[in-house]
Amino acid sequence: MQDAWIPLALSLKVASWATALDLLFGVAAALALARWRSGARDVVDALLTLPLVMPPTVLGYYLLVLLGRRGPIGAWLDTFGVRLVFTWEGAVIASMIAAFPLVLKSARAAFEATDPQLEHAARTLGLSETAIFFRVTLPLAARGILAGALLSFARALGEFGATLMLAGNLPGRTQTLSVAVYSAVQAGDDHTANVLVLVTSVVCVTVLLVAGRLVPQHTLSTSR
């Protein structure tokens, strides 16, 4: 039982970081895509959606090539002493990229569904564009963004392929829940596997229940 807590804590840490970063970049990218009037928009959207359809191992391989110590980005990061391969930060990057399209898609749909007339109204009431974003656009899109963040957290929690490729399977350092389950089964350790699977299931149900409560009530009643 003791053994289950370490990968659980690591998984929660990795998934939380990945979701936070996805929220930041996903919302920014979604806003840009929703406002951008250009033919290149669909190409950029397709590129950013790739992680959703690519096999996670292929994604992981790309990341390994790019972020490895001899990779173009990895070599540059290495000059600052930052190493992503075989570290928990690497697991964050892998989960973040894998779950990114989920936030992007939900947030873009949410931004495109907000009535531009409400932003016009705020403009005539004297608000700056930044204030309009925080007071009108973002609150109206919040429900969709939250739904995306929830999916992204679940995806990051379950991330296996890309994480294994980039961060490896180091117990206590990069061995997340889903990787630990695989290791336990491979080693024939059914007891640990059972515990880990049970813990994972409980965490997933808890996440879903908590997220259901996060959505403000009046947003639910008015966004029919």
Partner 1 sequence: MSLAVDIQKTLITRERKFELSVSFTGNCQRIVLFGPSGAGKTLTLQAVAGLLKPDRGTITLGGEPLFDARRGIDVPARSRGAAYLFQDYALFPHLNVRQNVGFSLRQGWLNPRAREVTRAVEYWLDAFELHAVAGNYPAELSGGQRQRVALARALAAQPRILLLDEPFAALDANMRERMRRELSDLQTRLDIPMVLITHDEADVAVFGDQVVHVDQGRVQNVAHDEALAVRDVSR
- Chain contacts with partner 1 (rule: CB under 8 A): 115, 117-118, 120-128, 130-131, 134-136, 139-140, 218-219, 221-224
The smaller minimum CB distance to partner 1, of residues 28 and 131, is found at 131
- Of 27 and 84, nearer to partner 1 (C-beta) is 27
Instruction: CB nearer to partner 1: give 2 or 130.
Output: 130
Q: Is the dihedral of CA 56, 57, 62, 67 positive or negative?
A: positive
How far is the C-alpha of 98 from the C-alpha of 161, rounded, in Å? 10
Element (H, E) at 185: helix 177-186
CA-based R_g, the chain, Å:
20
Q: How far is the CB of 127 from partner 1 (least distance, A)?
A: 6
Supply the minimum distance, in Å, between the C-beta of residue 110 and partner 1: 13
CB atoms within 10 A of CB 140: 19
- State the minimum distance, in angstroms, from the CB of residue 135 to partner 1: 5
CB of 212 to partner 1, least distance (A): 19
Considering the complex, state which of residue 44 and residue 127 has its C-beta at the smaller distance from partner 1.
127
Question: What's the rounded Cα separation, in Å, for the pair 105 and 27?
Answer: 9
Six token digits for residue 51: 């992680």
Element (H, E) at 122: helix 116-124
Please, which residue, 38 or 130, has the CB nearer to partner 1? 130
Nearest approach in angstroms of CB 216 to partner 1 is 8
C-beta of residue 90 within 8 angstroms of C-beta of residue 166: yes
